[in-house]
Chains A and B, each alone.
Chain A
């Protein structure tokens, strides 16, 4: 019995599918959820227990990024209620009703080591700088789909709702200032040193030092961002639970690593879809022949031109 082309394709598909499944699995094991690490990650350390809520960093941020102040509240003072297209950095107050400990919190981009926004961004408009690890936005690639606003677990990226040429606004750690040897705007003005800038390793050591010196001062004696969400480059120390400050407990595995695991496996090297495609072509080629014959039979039977 001769092997036809169709048989050949089908046999390849039959042998190939398990092979591709095995390959996809093995690829994952070999990679072991490896996340590319930036060469010299820099970041912020924010110690909520030192913050006095003066908001000097808010004004400095706008100045450093050449952004007009958000005076939408009373048309006079810069008093944004949340991050928005004018506000990359904001000081908020957590004050429980029962009178227990309150705390300020500085919110800006966490510069995750494995950012969900960049993982979801279709055309790499949001990307992680391979040197500094800063998550940057490229307006020439962004299609404005706003997936970053959905996927960021910290609700950081903001879309400009007004105007025909909207932009995505988020803290880019004053990359333009870093390039000329300056510190980010917020850290350059903080009067109490509540927010400091430095290489991630240095500020992480600093944070651990503070915990060591003052045991029991900080919530759970831990640094938020050391491992949370796969590690972030903005680190937090706080006396009140981090969740109260809007920093969700995500666990040590980053959101993309946790949720896109199967997506990555199935599409690794496009092996599974390609083999599925080959199998489908073979199957449809076979069925098409039968279908054509039936159509022509019907044509003879009814005297009406065959429709396929």
Chain B
């Protein structure tokens, strides 16, 4: 801490408002400059224990499902061959958690530079959503041991959306998304022990060299499989209600994934800032909200134009439950979009957060409908998830939340002003002076903060 003689030991943050000073342009004091771990709070708390209990319960139930089969464990039947494990945990939750794709494309491809501060959140939430979704997919499929065929391209049915998803999703989650999440871990090791630094720096250099190739794959692959998730239901033809069945389903799915995942990343970041009393950088959040709102406008336009041209909009006025679902999702998404636009005007984080919440919920409903709510396999077809099925679905989602809570406390994920990092260093000096000689065993310590000469 050489250059930092006057560290304030306070843990509270600067006020999260713009304060204009002397000349002209307002200076954003809450500017997010770096990712800082959530420090000073324990990983283990009652909420976390509840999550762990749910995860353990779902693991026990998974063993039961593997032994007795899908029928006794779930509500799936001959008519509804897919249950919530696929239609919610995979089709909906991976879309909600595809922030690494949507925020990444905005930041890296469209050059929205300020969004880089949200990237670590996006990458982490994506990795967890995909990991939990894919694990549950392994539980859902009947004959997972045959999945090794994925490595033999001559066995792929290249035009099958399901093959596209199976190959592309596992490839994406295991290579590009995984590699993109390595930097916070390397950084943690760098701060952990000076002896590790040469190795870590070498690894970082190698990783940065490969980044263009890795990152490009991390945008191409999700664009492919998030649209293929929509293409899945094309083959179901007339069994999907005409309000949802359209050749544009892949496009609508991938754009819905874009605005939903912005909601996930920015909304979760806002929630975390609120909960752990972090400063909110309204420049970044406004930019994210603007992008989300305009994406919603675009999505809504594609959806309505498509409905008009196919002549299916009439069915929205039949006042059956399909029309009800359609109007619910349309209302949720457009109200969410309206709130986001309004938050840009009235500068209220409340409208912004609610805008994300409503649009994400509406998007979830939209992604859920073609496979389940608007899927009409036969006149007497009925599906409702069984208790075991629900508990397993909740358990796998809880695993993602629990892992998130661990990760933000161990690694630098959440964005904050640079001052927050200094506050953290001060905190550890003040509260845990013994850390100097026990730091190898203490994962709360982030060590020295000087820059290296090698950089």
Asked whether A and B interact, the reply is yes
Which candidate, B22-30, B74-82, B343-351, is the interface stretch facing chain A? Answer: B74-82
**A283 beta carbon closer than 8 Å to chain B:** yes
Instruction: Tell me how far the C-beta of A245 lies from the nearest C-beta in chain B, rounded to whole angstroms.
Output: 14
Does A302 lie within 8 Å of B418, measured CB to CB? yes
Mark interface residues in B116-151 (1 if CB within 8 Å of A CB, else 0): 100000000000000000000000011110110110
Does A140 lie within 8 Å of B146, measured CB to CB? yes
Does B67 lie within 8 Å of A164, measured CB to CB? yes
Does B143 lie within 8 Å of A146, measured CB to CB? no
Q: How many Å lie between the Cα of A72 and that of B306 in the bound state?
A: 47
Does A283 lie within 8 Å of B237, measured CB to CB? no
Q: Which of A223-279 contact B (CB under 8 A)?
A: 248, 250, 255-256, 258-264, 267, 273, 276-277
Q: A307 touches which one: B157, B165, B187, B211 (CB < 8 A)?
A: B187
Q: Which of B440-455 contact A (CB under 8 A)?
A: 449-452, 455
**B59 beta carbon closer than 8 Å to chain A:** no
Q: A149 touches which one: B81, B183, B208 (CB < 8 A)?
A: B81
**A93 beta carbon closer than 8 Å to chain B:** no
**A299 beta carbon closer than 8 Å to chain B:** yes
**Cβ–Cβ < 8 Å partners of A287 in chain B:** 108-109, 111
A298-B33 contact given A159-B81, A260-B234, A291-B113, CB 8 Å threshold: yes
**B238 beta carbon closer than 8 Å to chain A:** yes
Q: How many Å lie between the Cα of A292 and that of B212 in the bound state?
A: 12
Does A155 lie within 8 Å of B79, measured CB to CB? yes
Does A304 lie within 8 Å of B449, measured CB to CB? yes
A119-B235 contact given A149-B81, A155-B377, CB 8 Å threshold: yes
**A124 beta carbon closer than 8 Å to chain B:** yes
Does B70 lie within 8 Å of A161, measured CB to CB? yes
Q: How many Å lie between the Cα of A101 and that of B305 in the bound state?
A: 44
* Residue with the greatest number of chain A CB neighbours at <10 A, chosen from B4, B66, B149, B233: B149
**B374 beta carbon closer than 8 Å to chain A:** no
A255-B34 contact given A281-B216, A307-B183, CB 8 Å threshold: no
Interface size class of A (residues with CB under 8 A): 35 or more
Does A306 lie within 8 Å of B82, measured CB to CB? no
A284-B183 contact given A122-B163, A155-B78, A162-B71, CB 8 Å threshold: no
Instruction: Tell me how far the C-beta of B48 lies from the nearest C-beta in chain A, rounded to whole angstroms.
Output: 26
Does A296 lie within 8 Å of B212, measured CB to CB? no
Does B160 lie within 8 Å of A120, measured CB to CB? yes
Does A255 lie within 8 Å of B143, measured CB to CB? no
Which candidate, B217-225, B255-263, B285-293, is the interface stretch facing chain A? Answer: B217-225
**Cβ–Cβ < 8 Å partners of A150 in chain B:** 81-82, 232-233, 235-236, 239
B449 to A, closest residue via Cβ: A304
Does A248 lie within 8 Å of B250, measured CB to CB? no
Q: How many Å lie between the Cα of A255 and that of B422 in the bound state?
A: 62
Does A84 lie within 8 Å of B452, measured CB to CB? no
Q: How many of B's residues come within 8 Å of A, CB to CB?
A: 82
Q: How many Å lie between the Cα of A84 and that of B142 in the bound state?
A: 16
**Cβ–Cβ < 8 Å partners of B213 in chain A:** 281
A157 to B, closest residue via Cβ: B81
A287 to B, closest residue via Cβ: B108
Mark interface residues in B178-212 (1 if CB within 8 Å of A CB, else 0): 00000100010011000000000000100010011
A121-B160 contact given A143-B147, A283-B109, CB 8 Å threshold: yes
**Cβ–Cβ < 8 Å partners of A120 in chain B:** 157, 160-162, 235
A144-B141 contact given A264-B159, A281-B212, A304-B421, CB 8 Å threshold: yes
Does B234 lie within 8 Å of A263, measured CB to CB? yes
**B317 beta carbon closer than 8 Å to chain A:** no
A141-B149 contact given A281-B212, A283-B109, CB 8 Å threshold: yes
B167 to A, closest residue via Cβ: A122
Q: How many Å lie between the Cα of A255 and that of B159 in the bound state?
A: 13
**Cβ–Cβ < 8 Å partners of B141 in chain A:** 143-146
**A147 beta carbon closer than 8 Å to chain B:** yes
Instruction: Tell me how far the C-beta of A73 lies from the nearest C-beta in chain B, rounded to whole angstroms.
Output: 16
A306-B79 contact given A263-B161, A285-B212, CB 8 Å threshold: no
Q: Which of B265-284 contact A (CB under 8 A)?
A: none
Instruction: Tell me how far the C-beta of B339 lies from the nearest C-beta in chain A, rounded to whole angstroms.
Output: 31
A153-B183 contact given A287-B111, A304-B418, A307-B34, CB 8 Å threshold: no
**Cβ–Cβ < 8 Å partners of A276 in chain B:** 220
A280-B237 contact given A160-B69, A305-B451, CB 8 Å threshold: no
A147-B162 contact given A124-B155, A258-B237, CB 8 Å threshold: yes
**B35 beta carbon closer than 8 Å to chain A:** yes
* Residue with the greatest number of chain B CB neighbours at <10 A, chosen from A255, A280, A306: A280
Q: How many Å lie between the Cα of A276 and that of B160 in the bound state?
A: 21
Q: How many Å lie between the Cα of A163 and that of B69 in the bound state?
A: 4
Q: How many Å lie between the Cα of A292 and that of B207 in the bound state?
A: 13
**Cβ–Cβ < 8 Å partners of A280 in chain B:** 109, 215-216, 219-220
* Residue with the greatest number of chain A CB neighbours at <10 A, chosen from B111, B155, B235, B238: B235
Does B109 lie within 8 Å of A263, measured CB to CB? no
Does A288 lie within 8 Å of B78, measured CB to CB? no
**B231 beta carbon closer than 8 Å to chain A:** yes
Q: How many Å lie between the Cα of A118 and that of B157 in the bound state?
A: 9
* Residue with the greatest number of chain B CB neighbours at <10 A, chosen from A153, A273, A303: A303
Does B190 lie within 8 Å of A259, measured CB to CB? no
**Cβ–Cβ < 8 Å partners of B162 in chain A:** 120-122, 145, 147
Sorted from nearest, which 7 A-B pairs have the closest CB atoms?
A: A144-B142, A161-B71, A149-B81, A122-B163, A280-B216, A144-B143, A146-B81
With A162-B69, A284-B211 already in contact, 9 other A-B pairs whose C-beta atoms are closer than 8 Å: A119-B235, A142-B142, A143-B141, A150-B233, A161-B72, A162-B71, A260-B235, A281-B213, A283-B108
Sample (18) of A-B pairs whose CB atoms are under 8 Å apart: A119-B159, A120-B161, A144-B141, A146-B142, A147-B232, A150-B82, A155-B378, A162-B72, A262-B250, A284-B215, A285-B212, A287-B109, A287-B111, A291-B116, A294-B113, A306-B451, A306-B455, A307-B412
- B binding-site residues for A, Cβ under 8 Å: 3-4, 33-35, 66-72, 76-79, 81-82, 108-109, 111, 113, 116, 141-144, 146-147, 149-150, 155-167, 183, 187, 190-191, 204, 208, 211-213, 215-217, 219-220, 224, 228, 231-239, 247, 250, 377-378, 412, 418, 421-422, 449-452, 455
